[in-house]
Amino acid sequence: MNPSTSLAAGYISSNFTWIDWAILAGVFVLTTVFGAVLAGKQSTFRQFFLAGRKLPWPAVAASIVSTQISAVSFVSLPFLVFGVGGNFTWLQIPVFGALISRFLVAWWLIPKFFEREIYSPYDYMANRLGGGVRSMTTSFFILTALLGNGARLYLTALVLELLLQQPLAQFEALTGITSIATSIWIIGIFSILWTILGGISSVVWTDTLMCVVMVAGALASLIAVTHLLPGGFGEMLSVTADAGRFKFWNFDTDPTKLYTFWIACIGVGLGGIESVGLDQSVAQRVLCCRNAAAARKAIIFSWIGIAIPILCLFVGAAIFAYYQRFPLTGTALESYTAKPDRIFPIFILTVLPTGLIGLLIAAIFAAAPTTSVLSALSQTTMSAFFLRRPTPAPAHGESTVATAEDRSAVRLSRLLIALYGIAMSAVAMLAEIGREYYPTLLDLIYSMSGYAGGALLGGFFLAWLPLNINARGYFFSAPLSVLVIVGLAWHQSWAQFLCAAGGSVIAIFWVFLHIKRGTLSSSLPQTVLLILAAVSPVLISRYAYFDNPAKPGAALSVAYFWYTLIGAIFTFGFGYLLAARKESLESPDSPRQPIAMPGVST
């Protein structure tokens, strides 16, 4: 019997047996125990969020791989090859863009981050521009993390929805709560509990084992799919090649096109500095290294994780060849038609044998991003809004005895983890609505991460370069840059209203501030610049788009991979022009006071 029709009369999840459940549970129990044992006691704030800066760089590199790969690779990447017109052009993004951005971060950002004791890149930016910058940059990170990782959580929930299709359908009939909503909250709750169990050290060691699980899962899936083909690996290559699915290069200069060489080298190569060096989900791991040299190794060697996306793309090619011989039918076809991005989970649950299904589903859940980002969200919020009192920097080693302040800080951190887990689950619910505007879930996820990324990247260059300015310009240019990206991405009337309202509020606040200080007349040129900057988002939303021939009536703007770079240029340019000049900046070699954090003693 054709294996792809075996579940035509039932639920897709019926192939998932108790053996698979045992394997799935075993993987998560093992990784939880593994992470807890290696993490050790984490009673102080510094141990909870920096792991005492004692983690080995290979573990940090593996954790970065787990953080950045996520379930996107296992769920969406096979579809990029399998879907209509699919190919390997996406691979240019990690091959070129990710490598370029990693080298830039390793040589530009890492040395600066290790000049003193900091807990995030936003601490560094605050040291250079002023304490208020920490709060604003943290806010932008929170926005970026919730949008991007909420969409990733939704993607992982799609797999759980397939896995628990029958019980979720029964639960929906009883309560009216949709199966995807239940799946989202199940993952969200488990992520909260898992993150609360341990600090960053536990997360890093758990991620390390999860990285091994992901590699094993990707390899096993490729071997299994090609084994099911009568012609094996050779048939997969020939069928996929004949269909033009192995296309890699794309030198198209059209700025609206995705997955081009120019986007990879420029849009991701430069814009990726934000996702590799300024995203606290990654930076927090880097700051756990012993020194800058170890952190550099962790960043550079994490690029080897590209092997996982490559394997996933080949899995997509193998699935394409398989379904050319055994076409989709029955409930498998219905599920694919409803949500095409789920082709790989559908294949796993309907075709692969017992045992292997459990391993691959564990690999997908291992790539869920929520535990990593919840820790980062909690830590940056604590740093920016709660822990501001100066304490001595470690000179002869840190204290491992938790003070009352430490215990209070860790309790509050865990509360924040829970609150952010709830917020991320809520954003994941909204992703169900947003997905209809994007060709694939991968497009949704990448675009969500680009709205505030430019505000962070532009702010870093304002802080890093010796410009002799304060943060005044950044406080106005950064939020306006987010509105610019909203204008680029959306061209409906509601988006134009949002851009106009947001720009008006920012402009009015600028004028009010200068009237109150009696400096409006002396700052007239900058006021005119600010008004021009405030008007630009609504003008971009109204006019900066093209007709989309593939989708009549829909606006076509620049590819979302350009969002971060465009936002950074806007933030930096107007941030510099609107800033006040200072007599001098603190020299990098001058004596420095430590960032205000508890749990550190001389």
User: Residue 169 and residue 308: Cα distance in Å, rounded?
Assistant: 33
Count the alpha carbons within 13 Å of 138 in the hemisphere toward its beta carbon: 22
Q: Is 154 domain-assigned? A: yes
Could you tell me if residue 391 is inside a domain? no
Which residues contact residue 151 at a Cβ distance below 8 angstroms, ignoring those fewer than 6 apart? 427, 428, 431, 434, 441, 444, 445, 448
**Burial class of 556 by CB neighbour count within 10 A (0 to 12, 13 to 18, 19+):** middle
Residue 392 domain flag: no
Domain that holds residue 557: 452-602
Q: How far apart are CA 124 and CA 114, in angstroms?
A: 9
Q: Which residue has the tokens 């054709």?
A: 2
Give the 3-state DSSP-derived string for 22-90, with helices as H, strands as E and coil as C.
HHHHHHHHHHHHHHHHHHCCCCCHHHHHHHHHCECHHHHHHHHHHHHHHHHHHHCHHHHHHCCCCCCHH
CA 177, distance to chain mean position in Å, is 28
pLDDT of residue 554: 57
What is the residue type of 236? M
Q: What is the DSSP letter of 547?
A: E
CA–CA separation, 312 vs 506, rounded Å?
Answer: 45
CATH number for the domain that contains residue 191:
1.20.1730.10
| Local mean pLDDT, 10-residue blocks, the chain (602 residues) | 41 71 84 68 58 79 81 81 92 94 94 84 89 89 90 86 84 90 90 73 75 83 91 93 94 92 96 91 86 94 91 94 91 85 87 86 70 81 70 46 69 89 92 78 83 95 92 96 94 94 96 90 91 96 76 70 96 95 50 38 32
In a domain, 25, yes or no: yes
> How high is the pLDDT of residue 31?
74
Q: Tell me, yes or no, whether 406 and 488 share the same domain.
A: no
Tell me the C-alpha distance between 77 and 382, whole Å. Answer: 35
Do residues 438 and 485 both lie within one domain?
no
Query: Which candidate, 573, 544, 567, places its Cα nearest to that of 451?
Result: 567
User: What SS3 state is found at 7?
Assistant: coil
pLDDT for the residue numbered 9: 38
Number of compact structural domains in the chain: 2
Closest CA to 54 of 391, 393, 287: 287
Q: Has residue 338 been placed in a domain?
A: yes
With respect to residue 390, please indicate whether it lies within any of the assigned structural domains: no
Report if residue 393 sits inside a domain: no
Instruction: Give phi and psi for 592, each to the nearest 5.
Output: -125, 150
Same domain membership, residue 459 and residue 578: yes
My answer on whether 517 and 430 are in the same domain is no
d(CA 375, CA 223): 35
Q: Which of 411, 436, 451 is the last residue of a domain?
A: 451
Alpha-carbon distance of 399 to 75, in angstroms, equals: 44
The residue assigned the tokens 């990206």 is 485
The Cα–Cα gap between 147 and 317 comes to 30
Reported as half-sphere exposure (CB side, CA atoms, 13 A), residue 601 has a value of 9
Instruction: Say yes or no: 590 and 542 in one domain.
Output: yes
Q: Show Cβ contacts of residue 61 under 8 Å, excluding neighbours closer than 6 positions.
A: 297, 298, 299, 301, 302, 304, 305
The amino acid sitting at 94 is P
User: 486 with 435, same domain?
Assistant: no
289 backbone dihedrals φ, ψ, rounded to 5°: -70, 160
- The Cα-based distances of 358 to 209, 228, 355, 473, 592 in angstroms read 16, 18, 5, 53, 52
The answer on 495 and 412 residing in a single domain is: no
Taking residue 535's Cβ as centre, other Cβ atoms within 10 Å add up to 16
In a domain, 509, yes or no: yes
Q: Are residues 459 and 410 in the same domain?
A: no
Dihedral sign computed on CA atoms, order 71, 74, 77, 83: negative
**Domain shared by 48 and 65, yes or no:** yes
* 44, 176: one domain: yes
> How many residues are there in the chain?
602
191 and 309 co-located in one domain: yes
DSSP track, 106-132:
IIIIHHHHTSS--SSHHHHHHHHH-TH
pTM (2 decimals)?
0.86
d(CA 475, CA 530): 12
Last residue of a domain, one of 436, 451, 466: 451
DSSP 351-394: HSPTTHHHHHHHHHHHT--HHHHHHHHHHHHHHHHT--S--PPP
Residues 441 and 486 in one domain: no
Q: How far is it, in rounded angstroms, from Cα 51 to Cα 97?
A: 30
Per-residue pLDDT at 401: 53
